[in-house]
Amino acid sequence: MSETSSLPDRAIGFLAVVACTPNRAAVLRYLLTHPEGASSVDMGAALRMSTTVALSHLIDLEDLGVVDCSASRLASGRRQRSGVYRLKVRGFSAEELAALQVLTGIGAATVLARADLDDFTPLELIAEAHRRLFEERGGEPGEPA
């Protein structure tokens, strides 16, 4: 039995959202602080990253079900670049939103364990996600990648 198989589905989904690079954290922070949303072009410019990088993270977050986009898909399956991406805040519990705020540097919070996260706090899940990321890269937290 793998470590992952003992986690509840909601916890695994939350780990997928927060197991992030600095660019993913920047996109999440932008979405948290701009509830009106933005296009990938505007977000990329605001975050000083390429539109392609911003769009890649937005599409990943959309596929995870935490972002909505107002643009329709083109025949190629790609999104129109002018679509507005918004965080689906209602899809997160209060504890998960608090954990996202801590992860993205917006604020600090005391987060209680939740039964649907199998008594893990979202912050413990974030720590586990980072541990796994560094393990995959073959280093330790705090060491250069």
Quick check: is 143 in a domain?
no
DSSP 78: P
Whether pTM exceeds 0.75: no
Burial class (CB in 10 A: 0-12, 13-18, 19+), 119: exposed
> pLDDT, tens digit, for every residue of 40-95?
999 999 999 999 999 999 988 988 889 999 876 666 766 565 689 999 988 888 87
Please indicate, yes or no, if residue 141 is contained in any of the structural domains: no
* Domain of residue 8, residue span: 4-70+80-134
**Rounded to whole angstroms, how far apart are CA atoms 139 and 85?**
34
> The domain spanning residue 90 has which CATH number?
1.10.10.10
Q: What is the DSSP letter of 105?
A: T
Candidate from 29-43, 84-98, 122-136 with smallest mean pLDDT: 122-136
The answer to whether 109 and 101 are in contact (CB under 8 A) is yes
- Answer whether residue 145 is part of any domain: no
Total structural domains in the chain?
A: 1
Identify whether 139 is part of a domain: no
Tell me whether residue 89 is in a domain. Answer: yes
What's the average model confidence in pLDDT over 97-108? Answer: 78
